Structure 1
Amino acid sequence: MARGIYPEYPPDLAGPNRQFLIESLKDWSIAHGLAVRPPASFVSTNVDPEGVLAATAPVTLFPSLFPKSCFDEGLRIQLAYNKLYAAIARDEEWLVPIIEEIAEIDSFVSDLLKVHLADLSLGLFRSDYMVHVDPSGNSSKPGIKQVEFNTIASSFGGLSVGVSALHKHLLAIGAYPPETKCIKEQDALPASRSVPSLAIGLAAAHTEYSPSTNNPSCVIFLVQYPERNVFDQRHLEYRLLETHGIRTFRLPFDRIAQDTELTADRTLLYRPPHAPDAPFEVSTVYFRAGYTPSDYRGPEDWNARIHLERSRAIKCPSVLTQLAGCKKIQQVLATPASPHLARFLPDKTEAASVAATFAPIYPMDVSEAGRQARTLATDPEKAVHYVLKPQREGGGNNVYRKSIPGFLEDLDESAWPAYILMEMIEPPAQRNVILRNGEIQKGGVICELGVYGVCLWRHGGEILKNWEAGYLLRTKGDQSEEGGVAAGFGAVDSVCLVEV
């Protein structure tokens, strides 16, 4: 944790004021779909065997403070990041050899690499950042440093709109006390527009697709089942139907083979289980599953993924786009003195803006940079400044600080190259209050800004659409290294912009 840069915040509430805030928050959240299915530890399956209950999503009681300059930079740079990762996914000559390096020691990456085939590709991306303050005190201004770039299942776009609206509502009804002056500054609470922006991206892909049958068209949400974060996804589904007139269906990953078929020209047909005689032609497959090895139980699931990739349907993402999100790619771009960024962003000003958000990242292989990283990672005194990351999406997979040397000691050295070593980002100290599973948690927190982006491109060709698509703030207790909301570590939040 770096030095503090924020004013004293939030105010302490007690008695009727506290009760009014919490009751207003709970009721507004459920009424507006800011919700999740409760975990079994909160509501047991014996109490709710049909899974009909919902609970308030983990949320902060107050919007968290965030430097306006850092927020503006995160939004501004998203178009460049969209271009960067679309370019990487289109460049098989560059991407595949790098992925093959980790495919030799990571069977999941190896299996993904075997199934790629793409025409048009859609990316609903999210670039995650933390505010970084130089712990030495040499830099007077905070900046943003990228935590990771998500190319598949970039979640919480649905709930981010709700939580920013929630905090505005609590301000409007007087739930925040008068001394909370920073919240009341004009434009201090920017709304997130991720639901309409992401839905427009899916609608653009749907429109770009060329049907080959007389069947009605649809967008498929490929999902895990059961899905606790279903309401986040439903907000996008409802928006597509109500605003764009596009039908969507939720297809559990393990039902691909039963509910879809390919025609001779690779058209993907979906047969709803409730109406199998009325098939739909699938224009777009939006992956909210398939990013973790646990989704692939055996050869039948890998065959199902190949089945989807072979189809004409636009994939969000294609396999190559998913692989572009590997931590290895982030490391190749961000290793100090790396020459690769210029290949994809030839504009020097644009590339410099992106590079300024990189934290130093090193491979764990036997290259010169890798040997340097191994020295850092195995030294208990130096390892406290780093995090070890595997090629995995979702929270709960990283190894932090003093745990790194012991973890590597227990891991066969041949598997070390499957990880990257990243210098820790040092966010400024601040406090907030989180409501999670009915419990109030108060104390120091760390915030992570996610900026969404939409990009539609032709494989091997030009970018057709590219825009920034709203934001998400995730907040966790400062004693938790991991930050995934769905993985059980964080809460959804919104920003209160301040000048620092």
Structure 2
Amino acid sequence: MYPPYPPDLNPAQKEYLLSNLKDWSIAHGLAVRPAPSYVSPEQDPAGALATTAPVTTFPSLFPRVCFEQARSVARAYNELYSAIAGDEGWLRGIVEELVEIDDFMAGLWKVHLAVKEEGYAQSLALGLFRSDYMVHVDQSNASKPSVKQVEFNTIASSFGGLSSQVSGLHQHLLAIDAYPDELSSLINTSSLPGSSSVPSLAKGMAKAHEAYGPSADGFSTCVLFLVQDPERNVFDQRHLEYALNNNHGVRTFRILFDRVLQETKLDKNRKLIYTPPHTPSKQYEVTVVYFRAGYTPSDYKDQSHWDARLQIERSAAIKCPTALTQLAGTKKVQQVLATPHSPHLARFLPDQQQAAAVLETFAPIYPLDKSEAGNEARKLAIDPASATRYVLKPQREGGGNNIYRKAIPGFLKDLPESHWPAYILMEMIEPPAQSNTIFRNGELQSGGVICELGIYGACVWNTGANGKRDILENFEAGYLLRTKGDQSEEGGVAAGFGAVDSPCLVDV
């Protein structure tokens, strides 16, 4: 579907491109902390070093019609998932099927139930979402590609900070003639869209901060970034912090998930009060807690972490996300919406035009329970011939969790059948072939690649006492393109599978 791309570079061209790529990246924070396999802890005991984030040397080709399709449904997806998060009764039916076989989902549901029994201290919620897509080419109509959704992320939707930077990198390389003249018809200012992810995601947090309002008790206010330790992807998060501080005048602090109980407390009105350890004489009222930790079972090492999550959920701070919003992002919800002939989409998107546009982005997904659809999916999953067309997904965020193609039958054989419903079976999306070069850990890796487009969305909503939802803010918040070698099944950049990229839009 694509023309031959990218071209081979002679040694002088390659040296010029790489020299500028490395310097621009570090100068503009397109960076990560180095992996221990690249720079050992003994070489960097202070943790002071940074390296260029895994990045493509050329922007990857991407159909313009697919890019616009993905962007066009961003607000509808915000509407959809805020509605799901606000429908506790519907979510209960999904979650209660899984709590007996998925301890992590059970833990999140337990947190929600504890707060529900006590009564919510905050009716506002913030969603910083990312809907991930791949280009799909239907062999019966290869001239009309479309996007199909890989997954929808409702917590810790990362790389918004770096995606703005990588689009800037590729625009810079174009401006300084680092790309050969023969590419001018492909790579030009009109084919390289900038990503507004940094200002847009920061705007979403600022709008939630504003909706919370000033402290009634005279405290200074702040937004807390809840983070993991160690965090290699720190600069991605820092770009959002700096934008909040510099462009919106919102004070931010980073707090380790391990330290929530030591550094925060609830007052008599359940306001979340933060005491910075470096200035213990000062206290701040927390308006928003932005989770960049707490999305994976490994973050909850003992009961203290569940106690920390409960403390935040009980508080009057606006959560990004709430426990219910996090549960809304599970693969099981995606499967229930996308199973062929599912009636659930219309429940949350009554606008038929919106619902039809979202439906167009669904890939076929099936349960592995004992329903009629589940029994059919089980046959497909355990048959080595048909399993090669599918991916098996658990209810987890982050890279490295999925089971692919021919590995599925053996995996299910070793898994107790009672645990099968914790997974969903999704038809593989088959993107068109293309090539690129990835710069990772100081080395170039060239070959076939697969691209995954993420569209960010920001949404602030209020759920009233009668359950009625009022959306205060709803907007698209930029994009992310991740690219991986076509021999890799997984796509996580931080997990070591992919690279950050930007699209070169083409008409196909």
Q: What TM-score, normalized by structure 1, do the two folds share? A: 0.98
Aligned to 1:192: 195
Aligned to 2:119: none
Distance 2:301 2:482 in 1: 31
Distance 1:32 1:196 in 2: 15
Distance 1:432 1:139 in 2: 22
| 3-state SS of 1:145 partner | strand
Distance 1:182 1:365 in 2: 51
- The offset of 1:139, in angstroms, is 4.2
Matched ranges for 1:211-250 at <5 A? 211-250=215-254
Task: Give 1:409's match in structure 2, choosing from 388, 407, 413.
Answer: 413
| 3-state SS of 1:179 partner | helix
Distance 1:100 1:213 in 2: 40
Matching residue's letter, 1:247: R
Task: Give 1:475's match in structure 2, choosing from 477, 483, 489.
Answer: 483
- The offset of 1:489, in angstroms, is 0.0
| 3-state SS of 1:21 partner | helix
Matched ranges for 1:34-49 at <5 A? 34-49=30-45
Matching residue's letter, 1:476: K
Whether 1:52 aligns to 2:16 is: no
- The offset of 1:100, in angstroms, is 1.2
- The offset of 1:438, in angstroms, is 1.1
Moved more, 261-270 or 182-191: 182-191
Aligned to 1:143: 146
Aligned to 2:387: 383
- The offset of 1:50, in angstroms, is 1.1
| 3-state SS of 2:445 partner | strand
Contact 1:182 1:188 in 2 (8 A): no
- Residue identity over aligned pairs, in percent, reads 67
Whether 1:435 aligns to 2:439 is: yes
Task: Give 1:161's match in structure 2, choosing from 160, 164, 175.
Answer: 164
Distance 1:145 1:104 in 2: 31
Aligned to 2:118: none
Contact 2:171 2:189 in 1 (8 A): no
- The offset of 1:140, in angstroms, is 2.6
- The offset of 1:225, in angstroms, is 0.9
- The offset of 1:182, in angstroms, is 3.8
| 3-state SS of 1:200 partner | helix
- The offset of 1:104, in angstroms, is 1.5
What 5-or-longer segments of structure 1 have no aligned partner?
none
Contact 2:270 2:314 in 1 (8 A): yes
Aligned to 2:284: 280
Distance 2:406 2:153 in 1: 26
Aligned to 1:92: 88
- The offset of 1:97, in angstroms, is 1.5
Aligned to 1:123: 127
Q: What TM-score, normalized by structure 2, do the two folds share? A: 0.96
Aligned to 1:293: 297
Contact 1:158 1:236 in 2 (8 A): yes
Matched ranges for 1:354-365 at <5 A? 354-365=358-369
Distance 1:47 1:193 in 2: 36
Moved more, 266-275 or 174-183: 174-183
Matching residue's letter, 1:96: R
Moved more, 95-104 or 384-393: 95-104
Matched ranges for 1:233-382 at <5 A? 233-382=237-386
- The offset of 1:183, in angstroms, is 3.6
Matching residue's letter, 1:344: F
Moved more, 375-384 or 138-147: 138-147
Whether 1:207 aligns to 2:213 is: no
Task: Report Cα offsets for 1:326-365 as digits up to 9, x if no partner.
Answer: 0000000000000000000011111010001000000000
Task: Report Cα offsets for 1:194-236 as digits up to 9, x if no partner.
Answer: 0000000000010110323211000000000110000000000
Distance 1:233 1:219 in 2: 13
Contact 1:182 1:496 in 2 (8 A): no
The 4+ residue runs of structure 1 with deviation greater than 2 A are 136-140, 181-186
Contact 2:265 2:273 in 1 (8 A): yes
Distance 2:371 2:219 in 1: 54
Distance 2:171 2:321 in 1: 33
Contact 1:212 1:267 in 2 (8 A): no
Distance 2:487 2:386 in 1: 20
- The offset of 1:186, in angstroms, is 4.5
Computed over aligned residues only, the root mean square deviation of the Cα atoms, in angstroms, reads 0.9
Task: Give 2:473's match in structure 1, choosing from 465, 469, 476.
Answer: 465
